[in-house]
Amino acid sequence: MNRPNSLGNAKDTASSAPSKHGSQPGKLKANSLGLWDVVFMAVATSAPITVMSGNVPFSVGFGVGTGTPATYIWATVILSIFAVAYVTMARYVTSTAAFYGFISRGLGRVVGLGTGYMVTFGYIVFEASIIGIFSYFAHLAFHDQLGVDIHWAVFAVIALVLIGALTYFEISFAAKILTLLLATEIGILAVMAFGVLFHGGGPDGLMPETLNPVNAFGPNGLQFAAPGLAMFIAFWSWTGFESTVMYGEESKNPKKIIPIATMIAVTGVGVFYTFVSWMSVAGNGAAGAIALAQSANPLDMFFHPTDVFVGHGWVLVMEWLMMSGSFACAMAFHNAASRYMYSLGREGVLPSALGKTHKKHGSPYIASFFQTGFAILWVLGFWFFNKDPYLDLFIVLAVLGTFSLLIVQTITMAAVFNYFRNHHPEEKAWRTKVAPILGGLGMLGVVILMCLNLDTAAGPAASSLLFKLIPYIAAGLFILGAGQALYLRKTNPLKYETIGHVVLADDGHGPVLDEEDPEPSTPIDLKLIRELELENASGRLGLDDELELELAKELELEKEQP
C-alpha cells in the first residue's frame, strides 16, 4: 500500500465520512460581527485620540513641523495600495491567523511560522504598551480633576483585569463596548477640529499649505527636518488596521465584508487623521503649534485649540476620553493577541489548550487568560524597575511591536504576489501584481525609515537594554518559528501540513485544513487530526492505515443505522 506524503493526499478519504466527533473543536462563534463591528474593532486598535495626541505633536516638534498633515496623506495612499493586495488575498483565505496564514500560503510554512511568531509576539506586547499610556492619561485625569494621586501601576493592573473579564464573553459584546468608546473619542476630536474649521483657523488662518505633499519632506518652521522620523510616525499611527482579517471566522459573510471593512479602516482613518492633524496645526498657528509641540506638555497642542474654539469644559472631557480611548485600544489588541495564540494553539504549534474556545461564548478564553497574564507581567516588570508608564512602558513596547509588525507586513506583500502567480489567474493584475509590488516597496521604505529613526522615536528610552535588544528579539522569534517548522517537517509531517493552513470552510463547517486552494474547502476534523498524530507517533499505525480504519468504522456505523 502506498503511503501518502502529506495529509493533502489523504484528504478526500478522511473527509468523505462524517466525523464521529460532532462539531469542530476550538470553533469561534460565527456570524457574530457585522460590517461596522469589524470596522470599529480594527479602528479601535489604531486608537485615534491616542495617536493624534501622542504622535502629531512629536512629528510637529521634531519631524517636519507644520508639514505633518502631509505625511498622513502619503501614509494613506501607500497603505491603501497595500490594502488592495491584502483584501484580495482575504477573499480567498478566511482565517483568524491573517498575516501568518497569508505568508504560509504564499512563501511556505517555514517562513509562515517564523513570521507567525513575530506578529503574535508583537500583538502580545502591544496591549501592555497601550496600557502604559492609558495609565499615564488616567493618572493625569484623576490628579488634575479630582486631586487624587494614584500610582500608575494600580490603574494598569485594574484595566488589564477588566479587559480580561470583558473579553471572556462572545466577541459581539466586546464589539459593542469598543464601538461606544471609539465613538466618543472620535467625537471629541471632531469637536475640536470642526471648531477650528468653523472659526477659520487660528492666527495664521486655515493654513492649507500644510496639506501640500511636498511639505512632508521639509523643515516647515523647524531648524532641521527629519522626514524619515515623521513618515515613520505617520505609518505607526495605523498599527492594527489589518486586524479586520482576524475577525473573518466570526463575521457575517466574511468574503464580502472583510475587504470592505479593511478599506474603510485604511482610507477612512487616513482622511480623519489628515483632517484632525491639519486642524490642530491651524488652530495653534505655525509658530504656536511648534512651540506647544516642543513644550513640557505637548498635549496642549490639542487642549489649547479645544479651549479657545470650543470651550474649557471640552478640555476636561478630552482628558477623560484620552483615558477611555487608550483603554479601548488595549482591549482591541488583547482580542488580536488572543486570536493569534488561539490560531497557533488549534494547529498544535503552541500548546493545544490555547486553541480551545468557550462552549457558550465561542471566545478563545484560555488564550485570553494567558494574554492577560502576559500583559500584567510586563506591567509589573516595568514597575519593579521604576520605569515611566509613558516614556518607557508605552514607547519601548510600542516600538518593539511596531518593528515586528511592519516587517511582517512587508513580507506579506511578497507572499500575496507569489500566491497569485499560481492561483486565480482571473483576478486583475492590478490587485495581484501591481498592488503587492507597490505596497511592498512602500512598506519596505517604511521599515528602512523605522530602522534609521528607532533611537529618535524612542527618546530617553533608547538607552535601555530592552530597546537595544529589539532587532535581536525579532530575529530570534523568526528563527524560533522557522526552526520549529523545519523540525516538524522532518519529524511530524502531519502537523507540519497544518501550519498556517487552517481556515474557515466555505460551507460553514468551521475550521478546516485548507490544502492551498480548496474548491470548495472540505471539512477535516481537527480533533481527528490530533488523534491520528498520536497513533502515528506511537508507531502502531501508518497514516493511510489509520485513515482507512477510521473510514471503515464510520461505514460500519452507517450500516447499523436504520
The least confident of 190-204, 377-391, 528-542 is 528-542
pLDDT for 2 equals 38
The least confident of 207-221, 257-271, 301-315, 455-469 is 455-469
pLDDT for 92 equals 84
Inform me whether the pLDDT recorded for 542 exceeds 70. no
pLDDT range class, residue 16, cuts 50, 70, 90: very low
pLDDT for 552 equals 52
Identity at 297, one-letter amino acid code: N
For residue range 337-372, what is the model confidence (pLDDT) as tens digits? 999 999 899 888 999 889 888 888 888 999 999 999
pLDDT range class, residue 222, cuts 50, 70, 90: very high
Determine the average pLDDT of the residues in 97-110.
Answer: 90
pLDDT for 561 equals 56
DSSP classification of residue 508: S
pLDDT for 303 equals 94
Tell me how many helices (H) and strands (E) the chain has.
23, 2
Question: Cell numbers of 385, please?
Answer: 524597575
Determine the average pLDDT of the residues in 200-204.
Answer: 94
- Mean pLDDT (the chain) is 84
pLDDT for 507 equals 47
The least confident of 118-132, 199-213, 290-304, 533-547 is 533-547
Contact 305, 283 (CB under 8 A): yes
In Å, how far are 9, 36, 539, 540, 550 from 546, measured between CA atoms? 14, 45, 11, 9, 6
d(CA 297, CA 224): 22
pLDDT range class, residue 14, cuts 50, 70, 90: very low
pLDDT range class, residue 551, cuts 50, 70, 90: low
pLDDT for 246 equals 81
d(CA 363, CA 516): 27
Higher model confidence: residue 242 or residue 207?
A: 207
pLDDT for 19 equals 35
In Å, how far are 104, 350, 355, 499, 514 from 347, measured between CA atoms? 13, 8, 8, 7, 12
Torsion of CA 370, 376, 377, 383, to 10 degrees: 170
Which of 445, 443, 419, 448 is CA-nearest to residue 432? 419
Inform me whether the pLDDT recorded for 12 exceeds 50. no
pLDDT for 521 equals 40
Contact 398, 128 (CB under 8 A): no
DSSP classification of residue 211: G
Which of 28, 172, 142, 43 is CA-nearest to residue 96? 28
Determine the average pLDDT of the residues in 497-526.
Answer: 57
pLDDT for 238 equals 86
Determine the average pLDDT of the residues in 235-249.
Answer: 83
Inform me whether the pLDDT recorded for 235 exceeds 60. yes
pLDDT range class, residue 250, cuts 50, 70, 90: confident
Integer Rg of the chain from CA: 25
Which of 108, 18, 12 is CA-nearest to residue 556? 18
Provide CB contacts within 8 A for 183, sequence distance 6+: none
pLDDT range class, residue 553, cuts 50, 70, 90: low
Supply angle C-alpha 383, 387, 392, rounded to 5.
120
Contact 11, 522 (CB under 8 A): yes
Question: Cell numbers of 94, please?
Answer: 478566511
Inform me whether the pLDDT recorded for 10 exceeds 50. no
Question: Cell numbers of 238, please?
Answer: 495605523
Inform me whether the pLDDT recorded for 525 exceeds 60. no
- From start to end of 173-241, where are the E strands? none
> What 3 state SS string does 109-133 have?
HHHHHHHHHHHHHHHHHHHHHHHHH
pLDDT range class, residue 455, cuts 50, 70, 90: confident
Inform me whether the pLDDT recorded for 437 exceeds 50. yes
What kind and span of H or E run contains 529?
Answer: helix 526-538
Place of cell 505617520: 234
For residue range 22-52, what is the model confidence (pLDDT) as tens digits? 334 467 777 788 888 888 888 888 889 888 9
Inform me whether the pLDDT recorded for 556 exceeds 90. no
